[in-house]
């Protein structure tokens, strides 16, 4: 644990001189080494096994042939389209034609409402990590440590989808994004500061999550090394500051923050949270654990998966994407405009694990010992959205061509891409010549 500018030893020295009461300002600083949607895995075994959260286990693999038939393709067409060699299918990229299964062969990724709700099995358990966001102890989940009223509709919605499901640090989505962060793609630094005599019990505490351009460093065992230095990189968006208090080392929000933004470990990259709160703990071993929570806009979640390559996400993560859209919409529980209109936000919590680090003022020459905002001096951000090579959730070939489409002829896999290209070109010129 680190207090003020000094090392542990120096701090020990100070207290041994009986100067404990002289410690006016304190701070601790960390860097996130892992964060993921705060979900509760309801069994002790495996990563997709049935549990109290999802009694049937993670949602099963989808029969995409059936999905295509249900959407109006013939059985033969559906089989052709799922064939690895089908010309609409690029290597590793799934069949682009899968997108066109809405009403009138509309693209279901961009227009999910053109497709009947296929459903998405929700979490049926009663336990979830998170925070009571609405102050109503009577609704929501119970936390693993017994707090009631935990609002986490996001978990209820997607918690049985295998991308999000699994024991801590083992769900496939969390692993993908955290690996990327741990290899240096982005960094979130945390400073906790207060002014009381006892950091573990202080009524006036601030917690800040900052962007940093300094990469995480792995130690000799492949874990994120402690005690590295991270310079705060002022960012126009990514800076989340919370008012809080500490109680026996737990950091608890004193009031919800109206709006904060953070780097999201997902394809969206941007996480807006309304009525945001923290519930963290300064552990004895020096780590910081816990959650931050709030209402996040649900549509970008869906769009993130679509942009990431809808066809591939559907094939690999066993999901029917319009089902995600309908489910998020259905379970959204907050709207900044008031409770009556269409709900735009959904309650959400992020589980955080952070290790001790030095966090420096943006000038780089001294430690940031008190939480402050640097948005005003930011030149960077907002974060560029994930620059996908997809278009409308589907993948163009290297020349930028998408052969699939609402009017595309459905051909057997024996037809080559080149043949199909020339056929489509002929079709197009005939159509324009006809006019």
Partner 1 sequence: MLRRLIIPGLAGFAAIGGLLSYTAFAEGGKSSSAIVVASNELATVLAPEELEQVGERESFISAYRRLTESQYRHAIADIFGDDIKVEARFEPERREEGLQAVGNAQLSVTTSGLEQYYSLARSISRQVVSAERETDYLPCDVTSSKDAARKCADEFVQEIGGKLYRRPLTKAERTLTLTIWDASAEGKDDYTQAFEHALTSLLISPEFLFRTEVAERVDDSDAFQLDAYSKASRLAFYLWDSPPDAELLEAAARGDLNTLDGLSVQVERLLDSPRFDLGVRAFFTDMLHFESFETLTKDTMTYPKFSQAVADSAREETLRFLIQHLVDDEGDYRDIFTTKKTVLNRTLAAVYNVPYPSREEWTTYEFDEDTERSGILTQVSFAALFSHPGSSSPTLRGKHLQEIFQCTKIPDPPADVDFSKVQAIEEGTVRERLDAHRTDPTCASCHILMDPAGLALENFDSLGQFRTLENGDPIDVSADIFGQEYSGATGVGEYMKSNPQVVSCVVQKAYAYGKGRKNDYREGQFLNSKTEEFADAGYQLKDLFRSLLTDPKFYEVEVPEGLSARTDSASLTTKAPASGGN
The residue within the footprint of partner 1, chosen from 113, 228, 318, 386 (CB under 8 A), is 228
Q: Write down the least CB distance from residue 286 to partner 1, Å.
A: 11
Among 48, 231, 395, 408, binds partner 1 (CB under 8 A): 231
Options 11, 47, 217, 308; binder of partner 1; rule CB under 8 A: 217
Give, in order, the Cα–Cα distances in Å from 95 to each of 86, 108, 115, 410: 8, 14, 18, 12
**Is the Cβ of residue 81 or residue 354 nearer to partner 1 in the bound state?**
354
Report the alpha-carbon distance of residue 132 to residue 37 in Å, rounded: 16
Q: Taking contact as CB under 8 A, which single stretch among the options 84-92, 102-110, 215-223, 329-337 is the one that binds partner 1?
A: 215-223
Binding mask 346-375 for partner 1 (x = CB under 8 A): ------------x-x---xxxx--------
Whether 309 contacts 388, CB under 8 Å: yes
**Residue 47 touching partner 1 (CB under 8 A):** no
Find the part of the chain contacting partner 1 (CB under 8 A) among 3-11, 144-152, 164-172, 307-315: 3-11
Q: How far apart are CA 322 and CA 286, in angstroms?
A: 43
Report, in Å, the least distance between residue 215 CB and partner 1: 10
**Rg (alpha carbons) of the chain, rounded to whole number:** 25
Cβ burial of 394 (10 Å; 0-12, 13-18, 19+) is buried
Distance CA 275, CA 355 (A): 26
Sequence-distant contacts of 144-152: CB under 8 A, at least 24 apart: 144/40, 150/349, 151/293, 151/333, 151/347, 152/38, 152/128, 152/293, 152/347, 152/348, 152/349
CB of 221 to partner 1, least distance (A): 5
For residues 173 and 149, the answer to whether their CB atoms sit within 8 Å is: no
CB of 377 to partner 1, least distance (A): 16
CB contact burial 134-144 (16+ within 10 A = b; e otherwise): beeeeebbbbe
Residues 6+ apart with CB under 8 A from 430: none
Beta carbon nearer to partner 1, 215 or 308: 215
Nearer to partner 1 by Cβ, of 158 and 355: the residue is 355
CB of 4 to partner 1, least distance (A): 11
Q: Binding to partner 1 by residue 227, rule CB under 8 A?
A: yes
Tell me the site size for partner 1, rule CB under 8 A.
Answer: 27
* Identity of the residue, 27 or 89, whose beta carbon is nearer to partner 1 in the bound complex: 27
How many angstroms separate the CA atoms of 133 and 150, rounded?
7
What's the min distance (Å) between Cβ of 223 and partner 1? 7
Interface with partner 1, residue 23, by CB under 8 A: no
Q: How many helices (H) and strands (E) does the chain have?
A: 9, 11
430 binds partner 1 (CB under 8 A): no
Task: Verify binding: residue 229, partner 1, rule CB under 8 A.
Answer: yes
Which residues of this protein are in contact with partner 1, per CB under 8 A? 5-10, 12-13, 214, 217-221, 223, 225-229, 231, 358, 360, 364-367
């Amino acid at each position: 644990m680190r207090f003020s500018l000094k090392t542990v030893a120096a701090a020990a020295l100070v207290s041994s001189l009986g100067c404990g009461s002289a410690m006016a300002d304190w701070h601790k600083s960390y860097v996130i080494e892992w964060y993921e949607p705060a979900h509760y895995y309801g069994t002790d075994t495996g990563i997709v096994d049935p549990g109290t959260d999802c009694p049937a286990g993670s949602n099963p693999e989808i029969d995409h042939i059936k999905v295509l038939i249900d959407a109006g393709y013939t059985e033969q067409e559906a089989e052709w389209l799922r064939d690895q060699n089908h010309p609409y299918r690029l290597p590793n990229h799934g069949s682009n034609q899968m997108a066109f299964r809405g009403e009138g062969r509309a693209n279901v990724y961009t227009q999910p409402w053109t497709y009947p709700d296929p459903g998405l099995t929700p979490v049926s358990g009663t336990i979830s990590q998170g925070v009571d966001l609405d102050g109503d102890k009577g609704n929501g989940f119970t936390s693993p440590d017994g707090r009631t009223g935990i609002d986490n509709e996001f978990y209820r919605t997607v918690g049985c989808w295998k991308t999000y499901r699994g024991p801590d640090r083992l769900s496939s989505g969390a692993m993908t994004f955290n690996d990327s962060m741990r290899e240096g793609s982005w960094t979130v630094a945390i400073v906790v500061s207060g002014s009381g005599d006892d950091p573990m019990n202080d009524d006036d505490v601030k917690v800040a999550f900052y962007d940093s351009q300094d990469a995480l460093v792995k130690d000799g065992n492949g874990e994120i090394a402690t005690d590295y230095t991270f310079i705060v990189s002022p960012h126009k968006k990514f800076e989340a500051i919370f008012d809080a208090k500490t109680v026996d080392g737990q950091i608890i929000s004193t009031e919800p923050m109206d709006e904060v933004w953070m780097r999201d470990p997902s394809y969206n990259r941007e996480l807006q949270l309304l009525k945001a709160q923290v519930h963290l703990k300064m552990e004895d071993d020096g780590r910081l654990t816990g959650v931050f929570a709030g209402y996040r806009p649900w549509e970008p979640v869906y769009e993130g998966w679509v942009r990431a390559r809808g066809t591939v996400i559907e094939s690999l993560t066993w999901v029917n994407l319009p089902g995600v859209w309908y489910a998020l919409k259905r379970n959204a529980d907050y709207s900044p405009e008031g409770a009556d209109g269409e709900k735009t936000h959904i309650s959400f919590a992020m589980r955080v694990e952070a290790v001790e680090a030095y966090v420096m003022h943006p000038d780089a020459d001294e430690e940031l010992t008190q939480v402050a905002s640097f948005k005003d001096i930011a030149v960077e951000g907002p974060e560029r959205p994930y620059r996908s090579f997809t278009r409308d959730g589907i993948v163009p070939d290297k020349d930028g061509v998408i052969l699939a489409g609402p009017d595309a002829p459905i051909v057997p896999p024996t037809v080559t891409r080149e043949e199909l290209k020339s056929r489509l070109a002929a079709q197009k010129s005939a159509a324009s010549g006809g006019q």
